[in-house]
Structure 1
C-alpha cells in the first residue's frame, strides 16, 4: 500500500527518509574511504538506501547507554561494543550515581551489546573504521544523547572523519554534536515535537529486521 505524505510530515517511512538523505550525501558517492554506520534499530532502514546509493559498506554502530538508577531515560554515559567507555561526570554527580551503580550499568550494557553483536552480525567482526570517513545514521534526533555517545566511541576507534546524518531533528541539531565534522539534517522544524512527527509510517523495528538488512550488505 502506498502511503500518502501528509502536509506536516516530511517522509512516508524510513526508507523514503533514507533516499532523501542520500541525495544530500551525494558528495560521498563511490569514495573508498566512506562507510555507513547505522544506530539500531531505527537507523538501519534509513541507512540502507544511503549505502546503496553511495555504494558504501553498511554496518551498525553498537552503543548502549548507561542508565541512571530510577531515571532510565537519563544517560550517565555509554559504552561501545569495542569497550570504549564514555562517562558523563556531571550526570553521575548530579544524579547521585555511585561507582557500584555504574559498574552494574556497564556489566548490563556489555551483556546486551554481546547479544546484539551475535544476533545482528552472526559473530562477524565489526567493520573496520580506522582511517575512514564514517557517516553515522539514525532515523532522527531528539536529545542526541545516543548519537553523541556513538560519536565519542568512534573517535576512540581512530576514524578520519565523522558525519552525523539524520532525516529530522530540532533546529539546533548541529549544536548538539561538537564531536562531528559535519551534521546533515534536511528537516529541522522550528517547533520540533519528536522524531515520529516527521513520518507517516513509523513502526518499531525488530532485531530480526536489523539482522536481515545487515545480511544483505555482509561482505562475501
Structure 2
C-alpha cells in the first residue's frame, strides 16, 4: 500500500479532521442532534456531539442481502422500518419486492428490535422533530445505509438533515446532496476502493463497544 493513500491514522484523527470542515461556531448557536449511521461511526459522532454539546444517538439498521449472494446488499431497513432498495441490483437479480419486504420484517424483528431494547431500553430514537440532524459515519461505500438514514430522519420530521463523513466516493456526493441539506467531508475520491483502505487503523466495532462508548453520556 502506498503511504499517501492513507488519509487517516484512526477514527479519532478522522473525527478531528472532520471538525475542521464543519461550521462549528454557527452550529453551536443552533439546536443539533448528532446521529451515527453505523457502529463504526459512533466514536466519530461522539467527538462531534461533545464539541457541539449536542445530544448523541445511533440509528440502527440492517442489510438485506440477495438470496443467492450474501455478500451483495440489495436493501437496507432502519429502526423506523424505512426500507431503501438498490433498484438496479434488484432488477439485475430479478428479486421480488415481496422477498425484500419479508426479509426486512424478519431483520427488523430478529435484529434491530433487540438492539433498541438493549441500547435504549426499548425506547425509540431521540425525538428529532423540528430539530437539525447531523448524520455521521466513518466513511461511505455505496451510500445505501446513509440514504436510508437520511430518509428516515426526514420522515421523522427533522428541521434539516446534514451528513458528515471523513471520506466517500465522488459518485455518492450528488446522490446524498440531492436529499440532504448539507454534506461535509474531508476527502472524496473518483476511484474509491473501500473505507478501511484509507485508514491506517480501523478496528471492527461491535455492539458492546458502542455501549462502552455510550457510558457516561446524558
Shorter-chain TM-score above 0.5: yes
Q: Helix, strand or coil for the counterpart of 1:37?
A: strand
Structure 2 counterpart of 1:70, from 28, 44, 68:
68
Question: Do the aligned residues in 1 keep the contact of 2:86 with 2:144 (CA within 8 Å)?
Answer: no
Q: Secondary structure at the match of 2:214?
A: helix
**1:161 and 2:160 aligned:** yes
TM superposition shift of 1:166: 0.4
CA offset digits 1:134-168 (Å, max 9, x no partner): 11011001211111111112211111111111001
Structure 1 residues 1-220: aligned runs within 5 Å: 6-25=3-22, 26-110=24-108, 111-177=110-176, 178-217=178-217, 219=218
Quote the Cα distance in structure 1 between the aligned partners of 2:26 and 2:92. Answer: 41
Aligned length: 213
Is the Cα–Cα contact under 8 Å of residues 76 and 144 in structure 2 kept in the other structure? no
TM-score in terms of structure 1 length:
0.86
TM-score, normalised on structure 2? 0.87
Shift of 1:190: 4.4
**1:99/1:172 CA distance change after superposition, 3 Å:** closer
Q: Are the aligned partners of 2:140 and 2:167 in contact in 1 as well (CA < 8 Å)?
A: yes
**Displacement, 1:87?**
4.0
Contact 1:167 1:185 in 2 (8 A): yes
SS in 2 for 1:168: strand
- 1:22 and 1:50 in contact (8 A); partners too: yes
Shift in Å at residue 21 of structure 1? Answer: 0.9
Query: What is the root-mean-square deviation of aligned Cα atoms in Å?
Result: 2.1
Query: Is the 1:120–1:214 contact (alpha carbons within 8 Å) kept by the matching residues of 2?
Result: no
Instruction: Tell me the SS of whatever aligns to 1:169.
Output: strand
CA distance in structure 2 between the partners assigned to 1:94 and 1:189 by the alignment: 26
> Kindly tell me: are residues 193 and 94 of structure 1, through their superposed partners in 2, closer, same or farther at Cα, counting changes over 3 Å?
closer
Alpha carbons 1:79, 1:153 under 8 Å: kept? no
CA distance in structure 1 between the aligned counterparts of 2:124 and 2:212, rounded to whole angstroms: 17
Contact 2:33 2:128 in 1 (8 A): yes
Give SS of 2:202's match: coil
More strand by share: 2
